[in-house]
Amino acid sequence: MGINRYQTGGTGYFCFRKPFAGRFTPHCIFPVSSSSSASLALTPMLWLLYNQAVTGRERGSIRRNIYFREDIAMEYRIALVRGDGIGPEIVDSAVKVLEAIGEKFGHRFVFTPVLAGGAAIDATGEPLPRETVEICQASDSVLLGAVGGPKWDTLPGNIRPEKALLGLRSALGLYTNLRPARLYPALKDACPLRPDIVEKGFDLLMVRELTGGIYFGDRGRREGKYGPEAWDTEAYSVMEVERIARAAMDAARKRRRRVISIDKANVLETSRLWRETVHRVAEDYPDVTVTDLLVDNAAMQLVRNPAQFDVVVTSNMFGDILSDEASQITGSIGLLPSASLGASKCGLYEPIHGSAPDIAGQNIANPLATILSAAMMLRYAFDLSAEADAIEAAVDLALNEGCRTADIAKPGDVALTTTGMTEAVLARL
Ligand code: NAD
């Protein structure tokens, strides 16, 4: 019957593919255990059942397209926060790419649009309606464009669009922020660093703790020695450091297996606890090299020799500052994706840039950061590495072949529109 085994051992699926619009798409899938002889004995039965269910004309081609694979998932539910400004345009681009990936690899992505940010304020009076939170919590992942814009800038703090981001992070329990910063060889000219540094290239992943530290510590105002003063406190528990350290080391295992932990252990007690804890966790990862760097040195090393970094793990405040520095040295804000993860695999995936109100509605925004955020979702939320690789390779190819949106075009380049760049990626998948 021409069954191809993608992998053997464990539970898997027999998948019958059916020709549709000139391509083969998954038609029906039967879960089986590939290692048991009972499953193999079942195969002719499945074939008979299936044969009865399709018309004679289809049988010949279907027969050649029965295959076995372990990693087919029936359905992934993605909540879509299109948001404000360029958000709707760039999210629509990423959806098109995900749909193409679904067709190519045999996955079904089910998208549920939800309101958040300025669009939600306009429609409901609040930045993060309850329904949005519930749908996001019930989804396998959330893809977000960007929220905010001048229209809502004068509203009081508790109904500002940015409230939606903090609310979603907390409702989904997201404590890890992953931000890759990579220099695309095709865009070397946009990098503000010296040519000899640019020549070496860089490809790093910043892992920032997102829900602890000084941004969430006690604070206040009081009368001090020199008059009125303000104070903030930083506290980190062993548990908080352990889980972010594990996130960094797990991510390093998907990369070059090197982690640099950044702290200020020569001054801060929280940093000394951070350092001890990171090294204790590292004992569980003998295949990952872990070293420390003080934050002031790290800020310098990022511009002196960014090629030395693979995975960087650090606290909320240090990560906030260093991840912006890392993104700036790539020279292309429209290309940088991010992921915020928690204990479950459901995370929030979004470009690092904002809603770019100055270019909204003109079909000129660069959709690549959002498309690459969708690739991160496939890799980290759904464990679909081959599919994520396919998107990243298509983006690389489009850039290498000279495709440029206005933000990364050089004088004399023809700039593609948002839809033009999306089509360029789709054509290279
Ligand atoms: P921004 O990132 O929106 O824009 C900065 C500059 O980069 C602008 O000139 C913009 O045109 C350009 N730019 C950004 N993304 C681009 C893209 N994909 N393609 C081409 N050019 C792009 O930052 P901002 O102007 O400081 O903020 C605008 C709004 O976005 C504010 O309301 C801010 O609060 C909000 N914001 C939201 C998020 C988020 O939703 N996660 C993040 C940052 C800012």
The reply to whether 397 and 421 lie within a common domain is yes
Looking at ligand 1, which residue's alpha carbon is closest to its atom 34? 148
Q: Residue 159: what pLDDT?
A: 87
Whole-number Å distance between alpha carbons of 219 and 234: 9
Looking at ligand 1, which residue's alpha carbon is closest to its atom 6? 356
The reply to whether 308 and 361 lie within a common domain is no
Whether 215 is catalytic: yes
How far does the centroid of ligand 1 lie from the alpha carbon of residue 356, in Å?
4
Report the CATH number at residue 100.
Answer: 3.40.718.10
Q: Tens of pLDDT along the chain (429 residues)?
A: 333 333 333 344 444 444 433 333 444 444 444 444 444 455 555 555 555 555 544 444 444 444 444 445 468 999 999 999 999 999 999 999 999 999 999 999 999 999 999 999 999 999 999 999 999 999 999 999 999 999 999 998 778 998 999 899 889 999 999 999 999 988 888 899 999 999 999 999 999 999 999 998 999 999 999 999 999 999 999 999 999 999 999 999 989 999 999 999 999 999 999 999 999 999 999 999 999 999 999 999 999 999 999 999 999 999 999 998 998 899 888 899 999 999 877 899 999 999 999 999 999 999 999 999 999 999 989 989 999 999 999 999 999 999 999 999 988 889 999 999 999 999 999
The reply to whether 82 and 62 lie within a common domain is no
Residue 203 lies in a domain: no
Q: Which of 69, 91, 111 is the last residue of a domain?
A: 69
The reply to whether 87 and 9 lie within a common domain is no
The reply to whether 63 and 81 lie within a common domain is no
Residue 341 lies in a domain: yes
Residue 208 lies in a domain: no
Helices (H), 217-294: 238-253, 269-282
Whether 310 is catalytic: no
Hunting for tokens 């309101």 — which residue is that? 115
Provide the number of structural domains found in the chain.
3
Q: Residue 52: what pLDDT?
A: 54
Residue 205 lies in a domain: no
Q: What is the pTM of this model?
A: 0.80
Q: Residue 49: what pLDDT?
A: 57
Q: What angle do CA 88, 73, 57 make, to 5 degrees?
A: 100
Single-letter amino acid, residue 47: W
Q: Is 420 helix (H, G, I), strand (E, B) or coil?
A: helix
Q: What is the number of other CB atoms lying within 10 angstroms of the CB of residue 321?
A: 14
Pocket perturbation via mutation, ligand 1, pick of 355, 419, 422 by most ligand atoms within 8 A of CB: 355
The reply to whether 60 and 159 lie within a common domain is no
Helices (H), 172-265: 195-200, 238-253
The reply to whether 59 and 98 lie within a common domain is no
How far does the centroid of ligand 1 lie from the alpha carbon of residue 144, in Å?
13
Which residue range forms the structural domain that includes residue 247?
A: 216-313
Whole-number Å distance between alpha carbons of 392 and 294: 32
Q: Which of 296, 358, 389, 413 is catalytic?
A: 296
How far does the centroid of ligand 1 lie from the alpha carbon of residue 324, in Å?
13
Residue 342 lies in a domain: yes
Whether 296 is catalytic: yes
Q: Which of 313, 342, 368 is the last residue of a domain?
A: 313
How far does the centroid of ligand 1 lie from the alpha carbon of residue 215, in Å?
22
> Residue 149 CA: which ligand 1 atom is closest?
32
- The set of long-range contacts for 127-133, using a CB threshold of 8 Å and a minimum separation of 24, is 127/159, 127/160, 127/161, 127/162, 127/163, 127/164, 127/167, 128/163, 128/164, 128/167, 128/168, 132/79, 132/81, 132/164, 132/168, 133/167, 133/168, 133/171
Residue 42 lies in a domain: yes
Q: Residue 399: what pLDDT?
A: 95
The reply to whether 80 and 187 lie within a common domain is yes
The reply to whether 298 and 345 lie within a common domain is no
Residue 322 lies in a domain: no
Ligand 1: residues with CB < 6 A are 86, 146-149, 162, 165, 333-334, 350, 353-359, 365-366, 369, 407
Residue 173 lies in a domain: yes
Report the CATH number at residue 245.
Answer: 3.30.420
Whether 250 is catalytic: no
The reply to whether 357 and 301 lie within a common domain is no
The number of residues making up the chain comes to 429
Q: Which of 249, 282, 313 is the last residue of a domain?
A: 313
Q: What is the number of other CB atoms lying within 10 angstroms of the CB of residue 273?
A: 18
The reply to whether 177 and 253 lie within a common domain is no
The reply to whether 298 and 359 lie within a common domain is no
